[in-house]
């Protein structure tokens, strides 16, 4: 057994090619227009091994099968980096000492024990303030200046992991660059996006302008209902934080 292998203690296998393709799109391993799965390459210390994705331990840990049928856990982003033709072109010393990023290995190792603890952020150390004479610290100084209020950070949305019924209004049709194709991807930006049950306001989101959606001949201002999975994925070059994945049962509401 090669020393770099991290075999999964347990993992979820993809039920079919459609499930594999959908997960690869979420991991940015395939473009939104992709209809077929593809082979990947695992590169390490000068080795280039053909492999294929067969499942996952969790959403941050993919499971690949190498040419000799051995299994290995890997972070999806690290696998994506390996597909670049320029990957691994470092100095001889750097190549010999290269290893998978600590974050990727740590994540995989943790999942093998089925106990992944969230990372704790280390607070920045602040320089100690010089003591001031008590006479210079009147109580009024503790009150915030008039006209200024402390801004509170908005609460992060808890997105459901399964498909849910949603409504959305078409705001804009646009395109974004596709690094895997010569053509740009067509996308739709929605506003007033919300989950029907439990009632949750999302705001703005986007989706690919698929052939299924094009059949509806949507126009700006049209409102639709559908079932889909929504994830936190920002649209390239647009301040839209959420993506609508694989909408189905789409219905255009009559105005």
Long-range contacts of 118-125 (CB under 8 A, 24+ apart): none
By percentage, how much of the chain surpasses pLDDT 90?
37
Q: Which residue has the tokens 């995989």?
A: 108
Answer left, alpha or beta for residue 33, where phi above 0 means left and psi between -120 and 50 means alpha. Answer: alpha
Long-range (24+ apart) CB contacts under 8 A made by 4-7 are 4/44, 4/45, 4/72, 4/99, 4/100, 5/70, 5/71, 5/72, 6/72, 6/73, 6/74, 6/105, 6/108, 6/109, 6/112, 7/70, 7/71, 7/72, 7/73
- Cα 109 from Cα 100, distance rounded (Å): 12
> Coil, strand or helix: which one is 104?
helix
Ordered DSSP codes for 180-246? TSSSPEEEEEEEEEEETTTTEEEEEEEEE--HHHHTT---TT-EEEEEEEEEE-PPTTS---EEEEE
Q: What is the per-residue pLDDT across 192-210, written as a single tens digit (0 to 9) for each?
A: 999 998 889 999 999 998 8
Residue 67: what pLDDT?
A: 87
Whole-number Å distance between alpha carbons of 60 and 23 = 11
Give pLDDT, residue 181: 66
**Domain segments of the chain as ranges:** 12-112, 164-252
Cα 227 to Cα 166: distance, rounded to the nearest angstrom? 6
At 8-26, the pLDDT tens digits run 999 999 999 999 999 999 9
Farthest CA pair distance, the chain: 77
Distance, CA of 166 to CA of 183 (rounded, Å): 30
Q: Return the number of other C-beta atoms located less than 10 Å from residue 72's C-beta.
A: 21
Q: How confident is the model at residue 125 (pLDDT cuts 50, 70, 90)?
A: very low
> pLDDT by residue (tens digit) across 150-160?
555 556 788 88
pLDDT tens digits, residue range 98-124? 444 444 444 444 444 443 334 433 343
Q: Bigger pLDDT: 119 or 32?
A: 32
| Cβ proximity of 236 and 176 under 8 Å | yes
Taking the CA atoms of 210, 216, 222 and 226 in sequence, report the sign of the dihedral they define: negative
Distance CA 233, CA 205 (A): 9
Q: Which class is domain 164-252?
A: mainly beta
| Residues 74-105: tens digit of each pLDDT | 999 999 999 988 887 653 334 434 444 444 44
Q: Kindly report whether the global pTM for this prediction surpasses the value 0.85.
A: no
CA distance 6 to 70: 10
- What average pLDDT does the chain have? 77
Which tokens go with 184? 């740009």
CA 162 – CA 160 distance, rounded (Å): 6
Cβ-based neighbours of 58, under 8 Å, separated by 6 or more = 111, 116
Helices (H) and strands (E) in the chain, counts: 5, 10
- Taking 70 as the threshold, does the pLDDT of residue 48 lie above it? yes
């Amino acid at each position: 057994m090669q020393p770099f292998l991290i075999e999964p203690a347990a993992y979820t296998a993809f039920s079919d090619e459609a499930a594999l393709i959908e997960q690869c799109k979420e991991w940015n391993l395939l473009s939104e227009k992709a209809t077929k799965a593809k082979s990947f390459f695992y590169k390490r210390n000068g080795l280039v091994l053909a492999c294929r994705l067969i499942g996952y331990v969790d959403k941050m840990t993919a499971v690949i099968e190498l040419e000799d049928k051995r299994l290995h856990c890997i972070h999806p982003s690290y696998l994506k980096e390996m597909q670049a033709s320029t990957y691994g072109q470092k100095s001889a010393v750097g190549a010999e000492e290269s290893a998978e990023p600590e974050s990727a290995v740590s994540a995989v190792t943790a999942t093998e024990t089925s106990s992944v603890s969230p990372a704790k952020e280390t607070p920045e150390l602040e320089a100690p303030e010089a003591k001031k004479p008590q006479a210079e610290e009147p109580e009024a100084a503790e009150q915030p200046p008039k006209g200024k209020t402390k801004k509170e950070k908005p609460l992060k949305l808890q997105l459901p992991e399964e498909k849910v019924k949603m409504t959305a209004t078409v705001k804009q049709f646009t395109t974004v660059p596709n690094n895997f194709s010569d053509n740009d991807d067509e996308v739709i930006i929605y506003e007033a996006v919300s989950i029907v049950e439990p009632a949750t306001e999302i705001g703005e989101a986007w989706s690919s302008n698929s052939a299924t959606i094009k059949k509806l001949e949507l126009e700006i201002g049209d409102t639709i209902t559908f079932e889909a999975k929504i994830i936190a994925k920002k649209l390239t070059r647009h301040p839209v934080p959420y993506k609508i994945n694989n909408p189905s049962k789409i219905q255009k509401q009559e105005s």
